[in-house]
Amino acid sequence: MKKFLRKTIWISLISFYFFQIEIVRAIVPYYYFPTIKSIQKQSLYIGKNAYQLLYFGQYEDSLNLAKLAVKINAKDENLWMILAEAQIANKKYKNALNSLNKAEKINSNISEIYFAKSNVYLKISQQTKAKIALEKGIKIEPNNHKAIFQLGNILLMEKNYLGAIKLFNKSIKIKPDFWQGINNQGLAYFELNNLNLSIKHFESAIAIEENAEPLLGLASCKNFNDTKLAIQLAKKALAKDPKYVNYDYRKEQLWGEKLQARTEILLQNEQLKEDVIMAKSKISESS
């Protein structure tokens, strides 16, 4: 009898113990602790969303998402680069440089880091640092025609026209239909008083793409001896892109003082009066 009673109590205790476990499981939630891989995946997903928002012009939202991605995973250089792009879009240039420096510390062999740095330095008017950053990027990616072209543009700003022409020529050898490089050779040759070569390069650029910039550049060149053709070209240029009527805009496109002076003379021609007024009105409407 005692044995039977002892056995009954023991079974009851065991049953009660397991019953209590089930109650505890029902009350205490089950927590999932994510792995490092899943955290990294989540941060990359957020980073991609931030990049997409940049594309759609939602700069502030993009910045907030990019910050979150970096907080989750600060060891991914790509996320720092996305954050830098968002900061550039929001005109937070010092912050962008800081983000690019962090990306460089993680991986110093990515050319895009240096190209992005150069872009920021140009925005804050630090041409020397922009040039150094570009040269570092080009060492990693020597056949990047756009980076070589941008380095040529810095030399154009410095009025080192022969050096700029060499770099533009290098970019064109890599990409023969790169009309921007051909066009900017035309800009440089005009400042060197080589009218024939300036005309040749503007014409070559137009043959690839009939863009407003080489059209107006060629118009200014032709105004020396063929005013009728110059006016036709200028009309076409202003119709394609009215912004080229503006002196400051042309300066942003790296037009030199000599070409600017000749263009101003051309645009004062009475036959272009209506075209100039129309172009200026279109600019004011869009601003």
- Phi (first) and psi of residue 31, to 5 degrees: -95, 135
Beta strand extents in 185-242 (DSSP E only)? none
**Interatomic CA distance for residues 114 and 241, integer angstroms:** 32
**What pLDDT, on a 0 to 100 scale, did the predictor assign at position 55?**
86
**What pLDDT, on a 0 to 100 scale, did the predictor assign at position 34?**
62
**Angle value at C-alpha 158, between 153 and 164, nearest 5 degrees:** 45
Residue extents of the structural domains in the chain: 179-287
**What pLDDT, on a 0 to 100 scale, did the predictor assign at position 213?**
98
**pTM as predicted:** 0.84
**What pLDDT, on a 0 to 100 scale, did the predictor assign at position 179?**
98
**What pLDDT, on a 0 to 100 scale, did the predictor assign at position 23?**
46
Could you report the per-residue pLDDT of 9-66, keeping only the tens digit for each? Answer: 444 433 444 444 444 444 545 555 567 667 677 888 798 899 899 889 999 999 999 9
Tokens of 175: 């990409």
Could you report the per-residue pLDDT of 223-249, keeping only the tens digit for each? Answer: 999 999 999 999 999 999 999 999 999
**What pLDDT, on a 0 to 100 scale, did the predictor assign at position 29?**
55
- Phi (first) and psi of residue 175, to 5 degrees: -135, 95
Q: Which residues of the chain have pLDDT under 70?
A: 1-34, 36-37, 39, 287
Top CATH class of 179-287 equals mainly alpha
**What pLDDT, on a 0 to 100 scale, did the predictor assign at position 39?**
66
